[in-house]
Structure 1
Amino acid sequence: MSVILGIDIGGSGIKGAPVDTRTGQLVGERRRIPTPEGAAPEDVKKVVAELVTHFGLPGAVGVTFPGIVQRGHTLSAANVHPDWVGLDADALFSEATGHDVHLINDADAAGLAEARFGAGRGVQGTVMVLTFGTGIGSALIHDGVLIPNTELGHLWLRDKHAESWASDRARELDDLNWKQWSKRVSSYLQHLELLFSPDLFIIGGGVSKKAEKWQEHLKVGRGRVVPATLLNEAGIIGAAMMAAHDATPAGETTTSPEPARPTPPRKTPARKTPARKKA
């Protein structure tokens, strides 16, 4: 089945929509429910179950989470309730919804979607997707393969915690204009460039809708910087992609959550020259 429900858990809202994972298109109207105050697991579980019931799709469900996700367990909770740490969230949501739920870090989901269907489509090499909002999310993708849970928003730039200093929330709290904010982000991107040398930076999150205000002010060394193109749909799409991939039985094929790698040309074996007979 190519149509999968994707759900994106955000700081202010939890959004869901059915996604055609072959094309990356939403095939139904997106529904948004405010995130419960405090974002405790039991409260968030009820909202996810409400969204699953609303859409009524069969099969697997993909859900994003704003923190580290390993084998369905949530291992950090920087901007949500601390009860998420160490929780088997796949089991929590699967039991609440009656569906097979697959969890993925929210920035990783956005990165997968942008790499396959958005601003990174067809780009080889290293792509870094950064989402600027309440914090800074990151996704690192090399030749279409995701390296999960990078959490690069928590790097330190000397005495500055990156997302506390350069997120969109920091811009608002410090009353920065776009040029001032872009100077901070440029310092952050240049630091990431020294560490990873990405070929392309994709800037997502809420700021991607206002690219004309900051794009000309961002300065990096060797790479390129472009705004994300999938905007608020990226997390939903990436969650559905991962669920479709994880739910595929062994021996079957489905749309991969990452872009397919180019197939190298086949080498033709060298023909052996027959030995000459002695006279």
Structure 2
Amino acid sequence: MKNTPAQLRVLSIDIGGSHIKATILNKKGELKMEYDKIPTPAPANPDNVIKAINTLVKDFPAYDKISVGFPGYVKDGVVKTAPNLGTDFWADVDLSKKLEKSLGKPAQVVNDADMQGLGVASGKGLEMVITLGTGFGTALLMNGHLLPHFELSHLPVKEGMDYDDYIGDRALDKEGKEKWNKRMKKVFKILKTVFNYDTLYIGGGNSDKLDFKLDKNMKIVTNADGIKGGARLWLTEEESKTKRKVATPTE
């Protein structure tokens, strides 16, 4: 497989429950412009979301490829679930093909937490990424390789409640910050016990509402950090390994 062109420019898009964010990245995942955003339309069906993306990026600089993080289970660019946008709208929609047709460039679509994981992971050991926002996103990577995407947000955490119900936006709004933080302490204890991760990365719009001390192997990451994963989707296996070695010189 040929190496990725050195001057590659990637349009990296993060579709969220409240906003759609985008920027242009170079091959190294460096932002070539500040990321911009637009409110997620209501209803958030495919046509409306694609129209919003077109509006958002119409004045962006030129790009060669498109990477998208989507809030749901995505298989080979085809959306299977979209719990916070409407699965009825999205089930079996080939979003990668729709974006290629709309924007005229090759597109890859993955789960949003997976893309964030690619953007922040060091490539060392078992790394877990969670996103705290409209819902609860999760990704797992082993030595920099994405593992199959699990919809952990739909596991029951107590009777009649899954993780989306327990710590998503609706729970934060209903229960308040203090009770939400108590719930987050419980969730972190569960994740630590079940996954035995080497590092846990915490992203999403509600990560800044955590008000207690985190373990040394837990790190808060930003949307800007996560959106950088859009570049790694287009790297060859060899380039991806090289990039991680540069990022982790202590190996």
Bucket of the pairwise TM-score, normalised by the shorter protein:
0.7 to 0.9
Q: Does 1:71 align with 2:76?
A: yes
Amino acid at match of 1:132: L
Amino acid at match of 2:125: G
**Secondary structure at the residue paired with 2:206?**
helix
Counterparts of 1:164 and 1:258 in 2: how far apart (Å)? 37
**Secondary structure at the residue paired with 2:128?**
strand
Counterparts of 1:256 and 1:47 in 2: how far apart (Å)? 35
- Equivalent in 88, 92, 95 of residue 86 of structure 1: 92
Amino acid at match of 1:105: N
- Equivalent in 213, 220, 224 of residue 227 of structure 1: 220
Deviation sequence 1:22-51 (CA, Å, 0-9, x none): 1x3211132212111111100111122334
Partner of 2:3: none
**Which ranges in structure 1 are unaligned for 5 or more consecutive residues?**
116-120, 263-279
Counterparts of 1:139 and 1:189 in 2: how far apart (Å)? 15
Alignment coverage as a number of residue pairs: 239
Counterparts of 1:47 and 1:168 in 2: how far apart (Å)? 22
Q: Does 1:170 align with 2:179?
A: no
Residues 142-181 of structure 1 correspond to what in structure 2 (within 5 A)? 142-159=142-159, 160-177=161-178, 180-181=179-180
RMSD: 2.5
Deviation sequence 1:165-197 (CA, Å, 0-9, x none): 1235412221242xx323212222222233321
Partner of 2:8: 2
Q: Is the Cα–Cα contact under 8 Å of residues 49 and 93 in structure 1 kept in the other structure? A: no
Q: CA deviation at 1:95?
A: 0.7
Counterparts of 1:169 and 1:236 in 2: how far apart (Å)? 24
Q: Does 1:34 align with 2:39?
A: yes
TM-score by length of 1: 0.77
Counterparts of 2:171 and 2:31 in 1: how far apart (Å)? 31
Partner of 1:113: 119
Partner of 1:140: 140
- Equivalent in 230, 253, 259 of residue 244 of structure 2: 259
User: Structure 1 vs Structure 2: percent identity of aligned residues?
Assistant: 34
Q: Does 1:13 align with 2:13?
A: no
Deviation sequence 1:34-88 (CA, Å, 0-9, x none): 1111111001111223344321423111111111111110000101132211111
Partner of 1:97: 103
Q: Is the Cα–Cα contact under 8 Å of residues 3 and 19 in structure 1 kept in the other structure? A: yes
**Secondary structure at the residue paired with 1:259?**
helix
